[in-house]
Amino acid sequence: MKTPEQDKAKSTERPLDRDGEGRQLYAEDILAMLHSELSRRKEERRPLELQWILNANFQSGHQYCDINPQNGEIYDTEEGAPRGAYNRIAPLVESRIANLKQLKYTMAVLPQTDDPDDEEKARIATKLLKSFIASSDFEGKRNTLLEWCELCGTAFVLSWWDKDGGRCVGTENGKEVCEGELRYGLLTPYEVYPESIYKQDVEDQRTVLIEQVLTSEELFELYGIRVEGGSVDTFALTPVGSGGGYGRAVSSAFALTYRKAENSVRLLTWFERPGRVYPKGRLIIAANDTLIHYGELCYDTIPICAVKCKAVPGQFFGRSVITELIPLQRAYNGVKNKLHDHIRTLAANPLLVPEGSIADMESLEDCGVTPGKVVEYNPERGAPSPLNFPDISGEVRLECESIAREMEYTAGVSQMTVVGNTPTGIVSGRAIEKLQQIDSTRISLTGDNLRDAVKRLARIWLGIFKRCASGSRTVECVGASDGSGAFVWNSSDINSFDIAFETENELKYGEEAQKQEFFNALKLGLFNDENGKVPRSTRRRALELMRLGCYSELLSSEELHVKNAKKENAMLTACGIGEPGPYDDDATHIEEHCRFALGQEFIALRRHEPELCRAFDTHIALHAKRLGGEEDNIHKQQKGNKNER
């Protein structure tokens, strides 16, 4: 119940909004709602959170622990028992990540219709997308995303518009005014609380709550607001005693546990998509008991993209492959420990000693029979003899190998992927190739999930650009033509959100397979011209695929001509084009200019800038004329040499 002082303080506040029943909402009500929802969602997500902690423990080597369903905590198992942890999960996950890093994310925006204007806008949106990916360290963030995705089964990307970012375009009241900039960052699954864990996609959630632990200084840098920090519960990898070798406790293993973050605040961000009560949605930001922002959602949708390792039908969070490997890892540790128990017992050389035959039994019990040691015994009592043990069954060794192979199958990798060895008994090239395809197919399911998530993320980016970017903006870029330049765009240039990848899933159709098919086609003569010769561009591509160290020396001058021709193409609209240079290779320039002239960009340019395109046509004609004159001179010289003979 509220005290009179609280009611009086509330009455002096200005109401911020009304709820669905028409009641006025104050800052105190909104903060109470945030903390209440956070508590409810934490309780609902608690079982999944425990599984993520268990996954992290097993990957880091702390493998003698489990979940206590009664108190909802992680506890150590087999306390005091001699044990060893033989971690196979970590190398299998590392192999998966190494394979998933082969994926490429080069995307293109498809035009809304076949209209030339739509095709031109799609080309601009594609350039914008590629430029943003190249300038935002996407590859580095992707690697971190993969690690969290493999560890917990799900990772998230949050995108937002920073109005204080980008280039400065002027001043207002003595402060710089910036054009704004799109930013994005990674969120771990520990920081994301959906409305319900039983709604599968972000688009199905009405609200999403984000909880982040920041220091007071980080919060000030982010929002320019000072909030006093304190001690906040969060997660961290901490060293723990774990099994190493044969039961020796070491501190080299790390486990994910709770910790106290000092001088920190709990930042809550509430995203609510548009609905009947709030037609424009809501965006609420609060730090501890301070309401930082309350207003409309400034985006068309909740700007969070979920990336899943394995999708689970009817579940918001995905499933990690580590969850499926944990039972097998426990079985593997058990079999391995039994094998080591047997080996250790044999190495200890236990003796069967008749009672009273050894005078110094204490020394024998403490040190055993060390090399060179003389053991005195009473022959009348009987001589000590080694204790006979039955040989360990071959089934035990087979069980250990069987569990190892099953773990590889579960992880979607094989011996070839992990250590580069082919399985025993497989020597046929066709069989090895088939096994590689099977491996790639299994792990490519995760690859498809990643690629689908990146496409959804690109749609979010385009939507934010269209909604938040104002006026005309200039972006410097390096396009496919290898020519540096810039292009101008505005929000009206984004009218299509249909995105496709320019390459296939590399895990299904890998680089080595593409290379082999290229050389097979080269042998069949499929690239030969009408004279039966291999064009220079094809030879250049073959040398690139061969990755010869002296490639730059073999084709250095030709590469320079290709780059110069592409640069002329890229700078056509900005600087125009004149006569060919005296040192230009005419054949190379004609080939590159004609390739550019057949593209949609030049077709649109001819409609808007006919004079510029006629100058480009004249430029190509001069190259052709000069090339024809050189060929005539060569033929004349060859004919003269024959006459002299």
Question: Given the structure tokens 């609380």, which residue do they identify?
Answer: 193
Is residue 264 pLDDT above 80, yes or no?
yes
Question: Rounded distance, CA 345 to CA 334, Å?
Answer: 17
Main-chain phi, psi angles of 300, to 5 degrees: -75, -25
Q: Which residues contact 514 (CB under 8 A, 6 or more apart)?
A: none
Question: Rounded distance, CA 264 to CA 256, Å?
Answer: 20
Q: 242 pairs with which residues across the strands?
A: 250
pTM: 0.75
pLDDT value for 153: 94
Question: Rounded distance, CA 458 to CA 496, Å?
Answer: 12
Query: pLDDT digits over 90-137, tens only?
Result: 999 998 998 888 888 888 888 888 777 788 788 888 889 988 998 888
Q: What is the mean pLDDT of residues 208-224?
A: 90
SS3 322: helix
DSSP state letter for 309 = S
Query: Where does residue 360 rank: exposed (0-12), middle (13-18), buried (19+ CB within 10 A)?
Result: exposed
Question: Rounded distance, CA 253 to CA 64, Å?
Answer: 12
| Separation of CA 65 from chain center | 29
Rg (CA), the chain: 34
Question: Rounded distance, CA 93 to CA 326, Å?
Answer: 12
Domain edges within the chain: 24-325+443-477, 522-554, 555-636
Question: Rounded distance, CA 590 to CA 623, Å?
Answer: 7
Q: How far is CA 349 from CA 5, 81, 345, in A?
A: 81, 22, 7
Q: Quick one: angle between helices 89-100 and 429-468, nearest 10?
A: 70
Q: By C-alpha distance, which of 635, 628, 516, 30 is closest to 284?
A: 30
pLDDT value for 460: 94
User: Strands, DSSP E only, in 427-574?
Assistant: 473-478, 484-489, 499-501
Question: Given the structure tokens 């409305």, which residue do they identify?
Answer: 195
Is residue 524 pLDDT above 70, yes or no?
yes
CB 316 within 8 A of CB 480: no
Is residue 245 pLDDT above 90, yes or no?
no
If one compares 220 and 630, the residue with the highest pLDDT of the two is 220
SS3 39: helix
Question: Rounded distance, CA 214 to CA 264, Å?
Answer: 5
Question: Rounded distance, CA 343 to CA 362, Å?
Answer: 24
Is residue 491 pLDDT above 80, yes or no?
yes
CB atoms within 10 A of CB 26: 17
Q: 24 pairs with which residues across the strands?
A: 18
Is residue 55 pLDDT above 90, yes or no?
yes
Q: Which residues contact 33 (CB under 8 A, 6 or more apart)?
A: none
CB 216 within 8 A of CB 264: yes
Main-chain phi, psi angles of 209, to 5 degrees: -110, 130
Is residue 204 pLDDT above 70, yes or no?
yes
CB atoms within 10 A of CB 573: 16
For residue 181, which amino acid is it? E
Question: Rounded distance, CA 501 to CA 172, Å?
Answer: 42
Question: Rounded distance, CA 600 to CA 109, Å?
Answer: 14
Q: Which helix (H) or strand (E) holds 573?
A: helix 572-575
pLDDT value for 14: 83
CB 377 within 8 A of CB 383: yes
Is residue 305 pLDDT above 90, yes or no?
yes
pLDDT value for 10: 52
Q: Count H helices, E strands: the chain?
A: 19, 21
Question: Rounded distance, CA 98 to CA 210, Å?
Answer: 30
CB atoms within 10 A of CB 625: 12
Question: Given the structure tokens 């082919």, which residue do they identify?
Answer: 422
HEC letters along 249-308: EEEEEEEEEEEEEEEEEEEEEEEECCCCCCCCCEEEEEECCEEEEEECCCCCCCCEEEEE
Q: Which of 5-9, 341-345, 388-392, 505-509 has the highest mean pLDDT?
A: 341-345
Is residue 645 pLDDT above 50, yes or no?
no
Q: What is the mean pLDDT of residues 616-644?
A: 68
Question: Cα angle at 15 between 14 and 19, to 5 degrees?
Answer: 175
Main-chain phi, psi angles of 377, to 5 degrees: -145, 165
pLDDT value for 423: 59
Q: Quick one: angle between helices 429-468 and 116-135, nearest 10?
A: 100
Q: By C-alpha distance, which of 71, 81, 30, 618 is closest to 341?
A: 81
Percentage of residues in the chain with pLDDT exceeding 70? 74
Question: Rounded distance, CA 512 to CA 500, Å?
Answer: 23
Q: How confident is the model at residue 73 (pLDDT cuts 50, 70, 90)?
A: confident
Q: How far is CA 383 from CA 347, 363, 374, 389, in A?
A: 20, 17, 13, 19
Question: Rounded distance, CA 240 to CA 226, Å?
Answer: 36
Is residue 536 pLDDT above 80, yes or no?
no
pLDDT value for 511: 61
Average pLDDT value for the chain? 79
CB 237 within 8 A of CB 254: yes
DSSP state letter for 581 = P
Question: Given the structure tokens 């579940």, which residue do they identify?
Answer: 315
Region class of 263: left (phi > 0), else alpha (psi between -120 and 50), else beta: left
Region class of 532: left (phi > 0), else alpha (psi between -120 and 50), else beta: left
If one compares 590 and 392, the residue with the highest pLDDT of the two is 590
Q: By C-alpha distance, which of 146, 132, 237, 131 is closest to 186?
A: 146
Q: What is the mean pLDDT of residues 32-53?
A: 93
